[in-house]
Chain A
Amino acid sequence: MKLHVTRRGLLLTYVTLFFIYLEGPLAVIVLSSFNSGQIVRFPPEGFSLKWYGALMDLVRNAPDMKPELLNAVYTSLWLGVASTIGAVIAGTLGAYALQRAKIPGTNILRQLFLLPLLFPQIVTGIGLVLWFSAVGGVPTWMRLLLGHLIISLPCVVVTVTASLETLDRSLEDAAMNLGANRVKTFLFITLPSIQGGVLAGAIFAWLTSFSNFTVTYFLFSGEMNPFPLWLYQYIEYYIDPGAAALATCVLLITLSVLLMINRLQALGRVVAVSK
């Protein structure tokens, strides 16, 4: 019994330390956004909400600020959604093809698929810039979309491949035996069985796109200025706790997206069962 308690205590301590380390940087930002002093610092020198107020004022009063912020959020949103849709479709099919192809070298191909995830993004960014300028005439929205697709595709490939590995192949055989051709088997049996992996991939893809700075930095233009870049430019000008307040708001948005997806997933399960 005693042993049991101490083991439990150890486990709890470990998990706590783990989380403090992982979430620490975020906590620092959130805490310093409530600072009552004049500069960003940690630990904060007292509690106040004044930087949130200042942020509101700034957005409201600075003539260029409001449209620029809205534009940045809007750009990031459509970019995230579009590249996620593209990544989910292409990534799922790609992972499926890679897993089922009876050709030698699929292992190497799979590693190549993951390269953009492991490679310094700055290299991807430079490569894209060089390529786009060589081709010429590619509009900014397409540059951004193609760039974000490259970095969000591997997210989907990774999660869908993992799901496919655990998929019971005899389910697909059974479907074919019952008269479903390959397309129907994929739609009615394979896809529902790997939907967890697809959804997880979609979330990762969206978050990757929404928060990406490095690749985006090489591709953006004045009128299409995704949110992370706008945030960076803001901090360059105003190094005050307002930036921390802004970052906290972003954090809240991201968290609520995650929560929403979580709820949707639970909802989906309820709907599926009640059907």
Chain B
Amino acid sequence: MKPPSQESTQAGKKPVLELKDISKAFGQMNAVERVSLEVWPGEFVSLLGPSGCGKTTTLRMIAGFIAPTEGRIILGGNDITNVPAYRRDVGLLFQSYALFPHMTVRGNVGFGPKMRGEKSGAVAEKVRWALSLVKLEGFEDRRPNELSGGQQQRVAIARVLASGASMLLLDEAFSNLDAKLRGRMQEEVRELQLRLGIATVLVTHDQEEALAMSDRIVIMNGGKVEQIGTPKQVYSSPESLFVADFMGRCNRIEGQLTHDGAKGWFLDCGPAGMIRFEAPPHPEARPGEHCRVFMRPEHLTLSQRTGDHGQGLRGEVERLVYLGSRSVAYVILDGGIPFQVHLPNTPGSKDEFPINGVVAVVPQPGAVTLLPD
């Protein structure tokens, strides 16, 4: 596990939240295994992973609804592992919003401060402040069932903020919204989070959401942490096959490393041809070594010139799918390996790759990444 890139800028600060080797077993099943994480002040961290990998369980342990079977949870320097949920000031935003249907917006947003024993004047002040943050002034007397999905989510956010939480926890908070509204709410929440400087942990299985919103991403798989890093790190320098695959479509191929004096390093991929490396693929590279590499579809180009040695991999276009801003070419390499190539659709671009036409898949400089074993 690499140290987070911000560590230097965090010098002298204390993490808001520390998970120290927390595990949770349900009977024989280890839902979460030895997860460690530090969340720094103002930081937005996403827990990202496939369904059932233990994201929600981790979040519910932080919120205090599930007790870890092992490990400690430290919040603001205090060990809260055994503190009941209602005495932890972490605000949890539910996927279903969980607004109280028998209360008005005012009642919902004021519930937190009221439960924490604040006077009615202070409660009203908090409600006003929180509703203005989410731009819902004037909705105080509505009931949750009289609000749209986006408005309900804003009320839920206001409710958590009004309760004075020292950090936010979001569980799949945007997955109930339609695509357009989801994008807008993601932006709004991120903007609000930055403005308030409140440390936030988001649980999601949507890698685009995690990439768009996070300072750091924690990739989980089978209850364990696979990698922690900035969006760029986990996308372009995955430390495991799982991360490489999960973060986006990746075209994989393997072959034998060769070195040709003046021309440099090549990967001989058999019938499909060769890939040229800009630099030695890794420090201890030696000719004859077997290597596995991957390339993202958007780092590849197509060419109709297929003759040149080392100028990409030969294949046939199987299908072209038009997606507006780009097209996706499905190419079958000679030898049968399927590849995807993203072709940006610029005003001038024309359909130059006919179906079943022979093409060369050419990686852009730096596109070929060695796959970890």
Q: Footprint of B on A, CB under 8 Å?
A: 168, 170-171, 173-182, 184-185, 188-189, 192-193, 272
Contact = CB atoms under 8 A, between A and B. Distances in A.
B153 interface: no
Interface in B72-104: 84-87, 89-92, 94, 96, 98, 100-102
Contacts of A175: 100, 111, 115
B159 interface: yes
Counting chain A CB atoms within 10 Å of each CB, the highest count among B90, B91, B92 belongs to B92
Contacts of A178: 86, 91, 111-112, 115, 159-160, 163
B102 A193 contact: yes
B115 A170 contact: no
Given A168-B98, A181-B86, A173 B92 contact: yes
A67 B296 CA distance: 94
Nearest to B90: A177
A178 to B, nearest CB: 4
A40 to B, nearest CB: 50
Contacts, number: 62
Contacts of A189: 100
Counting chain A CB atoms within 10 Å of each CB, the highest count among B96, B98, B101, B163 belongs to B98
10 contacts: A173-B92, A175-B100, A177-B63, A177-B90, A179-B115, A179-B163, A180-B86, A180-B111, A181-B86, A192-B102
A176 B98 contact: no
A174 B86 contact: no
Contact of A179 (B63, B86, B101, B102): B86
A189 B101 CA distance: 9
B147 to A, nearest CB: 15
Contacts of B232: none
Contact of A173 (B94, B101, B111, B160): B94
A171 B91 contact: no
A271 B320 CA distance: 62
Contacts of B115: 175, 178-180, 184
Contacts of B64: 176
Given A179-B86, A180-B111, A180-B115, A174 B98 contact: yes
B184 interface: no
Given A173-B94, A178-B163, 9 more contacts: A173-B63, A176-B86, A177-B90, A178-B112, A179-B89, A179-B112, A180-B115, A193-B102, A272-B102
A182 B85 CA distance: 10
A174 B159 CA distance: 10
A175 B108 CA distance: 10
Nearest to A177: B92
B91 A177 contact: yes
B116 interface: yes
Nearest to A172: B98
Nearest to A275: B104
Contact of B96 (A170, A177, A181, A192): A170
Given A170-B94, A170-B96, A176 B85 contact: yes
A179 B94 contact: no
A29 to B, nearest CB: 41
Nearest to A170: B98
A194 to B, nearest CB: 11
Contacts of A192: 102
